[in-house]
A = this chain, B = another copy of it.
Amino acid sequence: MHDGEPRKAADERQETEPATADPGSRADNLALAALLLGAAATLVDGIHAAVAAAGFDDLRPSHGFAFARIAAGETTVGDVAEHLGVTKQAASQLVEELARKGYLTRRPHPGDARARLLELTARGWACTRAADLAMAALMEDWAAVLGRKRVAALRADLARVVPSGPLRPAAW
């Protein structure tokens, strides 16, 4: 935060306003912060509600983050732990719960007898598909209001300022 040059290094035109003035009022900053948190909450809550409505009502939002990693393939408990930012013990408990509820199976790792490969069951895939549909529906709503170009601009702008991370659940 605020490292290096406060001088502009951007290629966009912004000389119309004094760049040394405040980067937005306190109220504006607070509003943007509230909007970003609200957007994230809307996303997570919306997907969670849709998934629950689709019959998968024994899951919490953070389970979806584990699904995202497992669906990528070649996943172990340790991978889930690192992805979610929790201990291996916590990931092990979470995986055990998902296996007990029929969302995934654990099979021996072909090349390492200590590890176990996690694979989604049909139910797990159905749940993932429901989450994808809910997310697409939400984005469709946004596109209906803003237009696809502005949604794309939103994505592009955020990509330039947000450090890419492993898409882990919020921890606060």
Q: Show the binding face of A for B, using Cβ within 8 Å.
A: 1-10, 12-14, 17-24, 26, 28-46, 48, 50, 60-62, 68, 71-73, 125, 128-129, 132, 134-155, 157-165, 167-172
Contacts and interface: CB of A to CB of B under 8 A. Distances in A.
B161 A141 contact: yes
Nearest to A60: B172
Instruction: Tell me what chain A mostly uses at the interface: helix, strand, loop, or mixed.
Output: helix
A56 B145 CA distance: 41
A172 B24 contact: no
A90 to B, nearest CB: 15
Contact of A139 (B23, B68, B132, B147): B23
Contacts of A136: 22-24, 26, 29
Contacts of A38: 158, 162-165, 167
A161 B142 contact: yes
A10 to B, nearest CB: 5
Contact of A31 (B5, B18, B159, B171): B159
Given A1-B138, A14-B147, A30-B135, 15 more contacts: A2-B137, A4-B125, A9-B145, A12-B150, A14-B148, A19-B143, A19-B144, A20-B140, A26-B136, A30-B68, A32-B158, A38-B167, A41-B170, A60-B172, A146-B157
